[in-house]
A and B are shown apart, each in its own frame.
Chain A
């Protein structure tokens, strides 16, 4: 292996926070973890089916100029 990489303190802090977040999630019950995965799946499905939108200058969401990904 090469020389150890020195990371900026803010990155080290971010990585530590993420590791703690993962440890907390690992302590959830299996049922709770699967519920999280099921919500992630729902979100992915929604993203696949949802037409992309964009905000107008007035802040109102408009239909995207991109074609719908719905089949």
Chain B
């Protein structure tokens, strides 16, 4: 993964993307035990063309020149299939802005904060998201007091309460 991150950082340095943040299972792995996953989820700002159109072509062309080709919804970069996910809503924007800077084997990168990860899972709301939230709660890896205002800001409080009711979870503090 070190080399994969180096390629991503080079994409930023070369202006192909403005920046990126790691989310999904790899970000969850940062806070929990290793979470089995097939890919590395990378959230990024799409470069907007002078005409105002959003296009992923420069990204694909850049990686094609380096020999990395799309496979289904990912592009395999030095052994890791990378899924490039455009930032398309205010919650993702906030997760991007407030991401934590970390290093991986000396390579700088950015990873979503745990509260944003959980809020995104609440928003996405697939069964596997709920299963993962349960793991965060079981491991006491998320600060529910810090999570509450994020959920409220993005209109997810009711969905969160519904999740807690559904799984009969009683939080000590929120």
Contacts and interface: CB of A to CB of B under 8 A. Distances in A.
B104 A26 contact: no
Contact of B33 (A22, A31, A41): A22
- Interface residue tally of chain A, by bracket? 10 to 19
Contacts of B33: 22-23, 25-26, 28, 33
A1 interface: yes
A30 interface: yes
B interface secondary structure, majority: loop
B36 interface: yes
A33 B168 contact: no
A34 interface: yes
Contacts of B139: 22-23, 26
A28 to B, nearest CB: 8
A25 B1 CA distance: 19
Interface in B19-64: 26, 29-37
Contact of B29 (A1, A19, A37): A37
B102 interface: yes
Interface centre among A25, A30, A33, A40 (most CB of B within 10 A): A30
Given A22-B139, A23-B139, A30 B168 contact: no
A37 B37 contact: yes
A40 B32 CA distance: 17
Interface of A: 1, 19, 22-23, 25-26, 28, 30-31, 33-34, 36-38, 40-41
7 contacts: A26-B33, A26-B139, A30-B102, A34-B26, A34-B34, A34-B104, A37-B35
Given A26-B33, A31-B105, A34-B34, 16 more contacts: A1-B168, A22-B33, A22-B139, A25-B33, A26-B139, A28-B33, A30-B29, A30-B30, A31-B104, A33-B29, A33-B30, A37-B26, A37-B34, A37-B35, A38-B1, A40-B34
